[in-house]
Amino acid sequence: MVKAMVFSHEIAPGQRVNIDALSLRLGVSQTPIREALARLESDGLIAKEPLKGYSATNLLTLKEFGDLFRFRLLIEPWAAEQAAKHIDAQGKAALKEEMQIAKEALKFDDNSKIEALTEHDARFHSLISHLSGNESLHQAFERMHCHLHLFRLFLANQRNLVSGEERPAFVSELFEQYYQSGSGQLAIKQHNEIYKAITGGDSKAAKQAMHDHIESSLKRFSPAAEAINDL
């Protein structure tokens, strides 16, 4: 419930969280509220400051958005390469199942499809980071919560809650094409190419396919990609 309030901006970016008020509103003790806030802190949605308490984190800036993709370009192609080298039967089955879920997500309509594909995106990339066999890399990827923050931006824009001089242009078209029918199918097609390379044990092809996919994703986040290149 607290997570939904952060996403819906009932708890706005930067707003201090009043634990007493939340406890009264939700009809629960402070303990589950604090536990929920601790989980959201690990997701990067809530920040805790000494002597000040909890507050909702701010939305991604254009620079932070660019930094996320640059970081992904550094670690994810290598993760895909390593996954192809170390993949076993269990890993192949997990990737196959995720690709089946993605195909089903394409059948949804409008925002439901965007949400389902965003969730698939997050699981797919997280799974590959895990299959790399490098736990430090996997934990670093998980701490980014890249797709979670991108979806938070999308919801904020849908509800006309995005402010700031650079953000309207940045966010207004952020998801306009990325998960629409053609682009959504393109993203899944690229995931399928990564999947086939990894499960086929072709480490070179897996590395290249992942690099091309992330670069393609950034380009589809137009006009943000052009602005990022100017930073």
How many domains does one find in the chain?
A: 2
Place of tokens 């380009």: 219
Q: Which domain holds residue 80?
A: 62-229
DSSP states of 133-196: T-HHHHHHHHHH-HHHHHHHHHHHHHTT---SSSHHHHHHTTTTTTTSHHHHHHHHHHHHHHHH
Using alpha carbons, select from 149, 138, 100 the residue that is nearest to residue 120: 100
Same domain, 36 and 130: no
Rounded Cα distance, 67 and 51, in Å: 30
Q: Is 106 helix (H, G, I), strand (E, B) or coil?
A: coil
Q: Write the pLDDT tens digit of every residue in 135-155.
A: 999 998 888 877 777 777 766
Q: Write the pLDDT tens digit of every residue in 164-183.
A: 544 545 555 555 555 554 55
Same domain, 185 and 93: yes
Q: What is the CATH number of the domain that holds 25?
A: 1.10.10.10
Model-level pTM? Answer: 0.75
Same domain, 45 and 71: no
Q: Answer for the pair 89, 199: CB distance below 8 angstroms, yes or no.
A: no
